[in-house]
């Protein structure tokens, strides 16, 4: 894994709080308000100053704010933390957000040549919120304009769905007209399935329906708790002998979660109780002294070496990490 002096990139989740309830997000279940074990927490400016020394920041080239569970704009000290990194590092900063909270003048303060903000905008005002539930398309556009009109760098990030693909060209034209620096299409593969209300009532399908009768949300929850059994491997087909092409090593990057814990990457950084990645419970016994609020950053990455040793095991049943195989297997 990446050594302390070789770290060049930081991936940071400032908070587990979010105003949205996107159906395929890990912080809920298809829109249903189900907390599977993560705490509502965040990192403050004082925490960031404690974790990252000024000397360490001199070696950092890239910083990315994009959490597994929360949205950057929901963090109390978000602006102050970005300013800290701008002052004491030469890093380029990327922020990914739903952009539907705060006011335009708040976003205007992120106008800096080394800062780029990716706004998740999945269509026009009549389709966007089918996935980005509890967000306001018009407010997002206003907030993006607040940044753009102050010479800030904004990118329109578009996730294609069956319900918004017909608007792709119009969105591109609008992005260019408003002044977005770039328009990117991000197909994350999470674009189909039932959507439920916060109370678990079926609302609509994303993509093609699986069946005429939508499944009860409780039955889907149960299947997600039970699909992985590390003692017998996994019921998903995966080449367990493949070589790993680790993104942490390739990017010389570490991931800091909102509770202060440090992981090689965001894929290993889900809280161990999170139902969507029960494969992470497989590596939980190897995670030691990794909270940067209690230990030095150099100490926090020592457990990465124990994780890397597991790569040499023959299969998942023997302890080869499913989460690494599923995420970073080499493409043959």
pLDDT tens digit sequence for 301-331:
999 999 999 999 998 888 899 889 888 876 5
Sign of CA dihedral 207, 269, 96, 39: positive
Report DSSP state, residue 186: -
Contact present, 2 and 297 (Cβ < 8 Å): no
**pLDDT of res. 248:** 95
pLDDT digits (tens, 9 = 90+) for 14-28: 999 999 999 988 888
Q: Which helix (H) or strand (E) holds 118?
A: strand 115-120
- Give the tokens for residue 126: 């009549």
**pLDDT of res. 159:** 95
**pLDDT of res. 227:** 54
**pLDDT of res. 119:** 98
200 burial via Cβ count (<10 Å: 0-12, 13-18, 19+): middle
pLDDT digits (tens, 9 = 90+) for 70-124: 999 999 999 999 999 999 999 999 999 999 999 999 999 999 999 999 999 999 9
Sign of CA dihedral 227, 12, 44, 138: negative
Q: Give the count of beta carbons closer than 10 Å to the beta carbon of residue 98.
A: 25
* Phi then psi dihedrals of residue 263, to 5 deg: -135, 165
Listed in sequence order, the DSSP H helices in the chain are: 45-51, 54-57, 78-88, 104-108, 137-148, 168-178, 217-226, 247-251, 297-300, 303-309, 322-328
Alpha carbon distance 303, 1 (integer Å): 10
Q: Give the count of beta carbons closer than 10 Å to the beta carbon of residue 225.
A: 10
pLDDT digits (tens, 9 = 90+) for 191-234: 889 999 999 999 999 999 988 899 998 888 776 655 555 555 55
End-to-end CA distance of the chain: 22
pTM: 0.93
**pLDDT of res. 332:** 42
User: Please, what is the average pLDDT of the chain?
Assistant: 91
Alpha carbon distance 41, 70 (integer Å): 9
């Amino acid at each position: 894994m990446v050594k302390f002096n070789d770290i060049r990139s930081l991936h940071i989740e400032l908070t587990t709080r979010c105003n949205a309830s996107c159906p395929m997000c890990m912080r809920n279940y298809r829109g249903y308000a189900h907390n599977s074990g993560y705490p509502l927490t965040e990192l403050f400016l004082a925490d960031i100053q404690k974790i990252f020394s000024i000397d360490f920041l001199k070696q950092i080239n890239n910083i990315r704010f994009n959490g597994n569970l929360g949205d950057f704009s929901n963090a109390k000290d978000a602006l102050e933390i970005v300013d800290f990194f701008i002052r004491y590092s030469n890093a380029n900063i990327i922020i990914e957000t739903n952009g539907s909270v705060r006011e335009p003048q708040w976003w205007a303060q992120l106008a800096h040549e080394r800062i780029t903000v990716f706004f998740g905008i999945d269509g026009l005002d009549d389709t966007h919120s089918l996935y980005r539930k509890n967000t306001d398309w018009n407010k997002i556009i206003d907030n993006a304009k607040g940044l753009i009109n102050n010479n800030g760098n904004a990118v329109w990030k578009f996730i294609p769905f069956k319900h918004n693909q017909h608007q792709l060209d119009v969105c591109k034209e609008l992005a260019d007209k408003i002044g977005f620096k770039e328009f990117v299409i991000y197909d994350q593969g999470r674009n189909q399935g039932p959507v439920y209300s916060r109370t678990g009532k079926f609302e609509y399908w994303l993509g093609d329906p699986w069946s005429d009768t939508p499944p009860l949300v409780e039955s889907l929850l149960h299947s997600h708790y039970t699909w992985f059994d590390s003692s017998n491997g996994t019921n998903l087909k995966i080449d367990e002998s493949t070589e790993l092409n680790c993104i942490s090593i390739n990017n010389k990057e570490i991931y800091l979660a909102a509770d202060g814990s440090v992981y090689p990457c965001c894929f290993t950084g889900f809280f161990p109780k999170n139902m969507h990645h029960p494969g992470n419970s497989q590596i939980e016994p190897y995670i030691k002294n990794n909270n940067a609020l209690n230990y030095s950053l150099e100490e926090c990455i020592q457990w990465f070496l124990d994780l890397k040793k597991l790569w040499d095991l023959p299969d998942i049943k023997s302890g080869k990490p499913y989460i690494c195989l599923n995420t970073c297997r080499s493409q043959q």
